[in-house]
Amino acid sequence: MNITDLASTARPVRIIQFGGGVFLRGFFDWMLAKANAAGVMDASAVIVRARTGGEDPLSAQRFRYTHAARDGSHNDITLVDCIAGSLNPADDWEAYLSLADNPDASVIVSNTTESGIVYTPCPTPAHGVPESFPARLTALLHRRFLHKLPGFLILPCELIDTNGDTLRELVLRHAADWSLGEDFARFVTNECSFRNTLVDRIVSGKPGEGDSIDLPYEDTLVNTSEYFHLWVIDGEEDERLPFAKIGLNVRWVPDINPYRTLKVRILNGAHTSMIPYALLRGVETVGECMSDSILRGHLEACLFEEIIPSLDSDPAEAEAYAKDVLERFSNPYIHHLCRSIALNSLDKFRVRVLPSILAYQAKTGRRPSHLLFSLAMLIRLYKDGTPNDTDEKIAYMRSTSVRDILANAALWGSDLSEYAEEVEHDTHTSL
């Protein structure tokens, strides 16, 4: 039996979801399926795709797939049947805008990577479909405003500081660019609830070779993750998203910063400080990194000798979290490809690792040699390896000297040329 033969339940579209990659499928959509099954929600999501061209792979399975969340204690197999469909604004702009006309839709969630929440000047949509996520969101919210419908709960999952506040500011900037008026600005500010959020779950995508998941139906799009999951959302709980009521680890808190700092600097920082080195050494998965004495030694030195000392958090709490992260990285059910983690590595390094470099030096007066080695490996990957980034960024990195790359404040947020001697030396280190 194929997954398409299974009975399905039609549910109102209440969610507009920007991004349909494996993370949101293994995080938000998994939660939504759980909430539907528990009876606390009756909702489906429409995916707004960023990629142009080609059919959505999910369409071949009527937008259903299986998600396996596993570790040594849990084996959670869930049929995710809460996606109503997908569309690409570049293919049908009017169909995209019409999502705002649906009075049932009340929540917007997004994961467009760290490079998605950026300001890119553009003319009004009347002169062509905007390419950036904030500009497209502005147009959608304006359509909502014109139809005098309630605002949305907006939950960006991108791993940047104050992601909700930043996204709102960019929407208001586009609104000003397009002269959409003060009434619309008030709608965005007062009626749309932009929340800062933090997400934490390792989602590895398709099962690894030899990983057999016994299902009573055929599914070519099985998605996998660890069982651990955490979603921290600032502000008071909103009834439009009752996930916490069924025991999902969703926390509404007055301040997400303590959670964010630990997670981004330790878990994400661990990934980003290790992955370029791993790819240059020909290691394909995070699990294999944990079994490689050189890579694991490098990672532990970054974590315990430099990242944790750079934090203002309680050292014991940070060390306990770091040890949990290493255990999670070693989960035998997670086939997490290094190349997938390497997507947009320059942006990720700036957000996840560079703050540790700068804070470590400020606190100790010493240069963090292990993290600077990670920076050298990042540059070497772009110059000599197979980075996973835009053609423009790859071309820039390959045509520019190490010293000039480090001096590019627009790239890093500050001039890093003081590290040029160490980084240039490390880029020539034997692997």
Show which of 235, 253, 271 is a domain's final residue. Answer: 253
Give me the number of domains the chain comprises.
2
pLDDT in tens, the chain (431 residues): 999 999 889 999 999 999 999 999 999 999 999 999 999 999 999 999 986 667 899 999 999 999 999 998 899 999 999 999 999 999 999 999 999 999 999 999 999 977 789 999 999 999 999 999 999 999 999 999 999 999 999 999 998 889 999 999 999 999 999 999 999 999 999 999 999 999 999 999 999 888 889 999 999 999 999 999 999 999 999 999 999 999 999 999 999 999 999 999 999 999 999 999 999 999 999 999 999 999 999 999 999 999 999 999 899 999 999 999 999 999 999 889 999 999 999 999 999 999 999 999 999 999 999 999 999 999 999 999 999 999 999 999 999 999 999 999 999 999 999 999 999 999 988 88
Q: What is the pLDDT of residue 430?
A: 84
Whether residues 261 and 236 fall in one domain: no
Domain presence at residue 431: no
**174 assigned to some structural domain:** yes
63 and 209 both lie in a single domain: yes
Beginning with the edge strand found earlier in the chain, give each strand of the sheet holding 193-194 in spatial order: 83-87, 44-48, 13-18, 107-110, 153-156, 193-194
Sign of CA dihedral 206, 210, 213, 214: positive
CATH of the domain at 292: 1.10.1040.10
217 and 299 share a domain? Answer: no
**Angle of CA points 50, 80, 250, to nearest 5°:** 85
Q: Which domain does 328 fall in, by range?
A: 257-426
- Which of 224, 253, 282 finishes a domain? 253
Q: Are residues 248 and 277 in the same domain?
A: no
- Does 35 share its domain with 148? yes
pLDDT for 166 equals 97
- Pairing mode of beta strands 230-234, 197-200: antiparallel
User: Are residues 271 and 304 located together in one domain of the fold?
Assistant: yes
Burial of 274 per CB tally in 10 Å (0-12, 13-18, 19+): buried
Q: Are residues 206 and 290 in the same domain?
A: no
